[in-house]
Amino acid sequence: VKIGSGRDPLSAVPDSSLTDAKFVWVEGIDESLYCGEIRRLGDITGVRPARIAGYWLLKKGAVWDGPKAKPGERTVLHLHGGAFYIGSANPSDITANFTRGLLEHSQSLDRVLAIDYRLTASAPNPPANPFPAALLDSLAGYLYLVQDAGFAPENITIAGDSAGGNLAIALVRHLVENPFPSLPPPGRILTVSGWFDLSMSRVGPGSSHLSNSASDIFGTLKPGRLFGEYGMTSLRGPLDFEVVKTNRYLSPSSLDCEPMKGKSLFEGFPETYVATGGAERALDESTALVERMKADGVKVVEDFPPDAMHDFVVFKWHEPERTEALIRMSAWLDRAQ
């Protein structure tokens, strides 16, 4: 995918060379699910639901007999990383190493679904797919798992790495804040190196953004540009930067984040596993997320390998941190709730 291309999901083509995966189309959500805070912002940015591509990634040796869930079957909805403007759910993308690792080490997973959400773009590329396009597509993936494939919500874990971690939290927030009788929140959330503060409000003396600049994959970036300004600028589109700083859907770890009126920030969230490299620049964002979730009564597992860098689970050479973390995550997924 070309950087900043803002690809049209209708241009996706099923890959006949897939050996451990199956391609599916996922229809856009019904307008009734497009409500609340994301609808308010979506009316400003002009975003509407769309049909998107999805990929079922299969455990080695698993037999595909259609998308329908077996009784009691567990699965994962994976939202890939890439700062909202690069990457893909295609099994050839490096982020699939995350979910392949879960399938390898988990005893309860036979397949996971990855959603090819719309990528955002801005100048010098044609503007495309600002907030909440990727979030609507993530919601469509969850709806597909529950209503089309028949998975029980409590048997679904929403997993995301990097920008996908942001989307995982935002997706569950929408389901918690806008109760849908036919679409309850998922059983769990799993984030790895989540980008939880698009405003980068925690950059400053003593911050991980500066202290880990020599050890992270983004160490060569100038201070204040954790993932670069392009992804954030493209995602916010016509929204004012003040929205990025304060909105709970965009920056839940921001120093300026404002909860929903009359509610705590993470009230009603399910058990969450937060993994982040101890050597990465975004460490403070995950630490703040854990603190805020625990303060609001959420059961949280924190996993911060000290020598790991950003999105370490997608890099096969990042050992032993990658495999050790995947084993811990898989054991957590396998544990009965």
| H/E run at residue 190 | strand 188-192
Burial of 323 (0-12, 13-18, 19+ CB in 10 A): middle
Cβ atoms 81, 160 nearer than 8 A: yes
Residues 6+ apart with CB under 8 A from 120: 6, 84, 85, 128, 129, 130, 131, 133, 134, 231, 234, 235, 237
**Closest C-alpha to 165, from 266, 285, 318, 256:** 285
Q: Is 337 helix (H, G, I), strand (E, B) or coil?
A: coil
> CA–CA separation, 92 vs 266, rounded Å?
34
Catalytic entry in 106, 122, 162, 199: 162
The answer to whether 253 is a known catalytic residue is no
Only one residue has tokens 């004012």, namely 240
Which residues form the catalytic set? 162
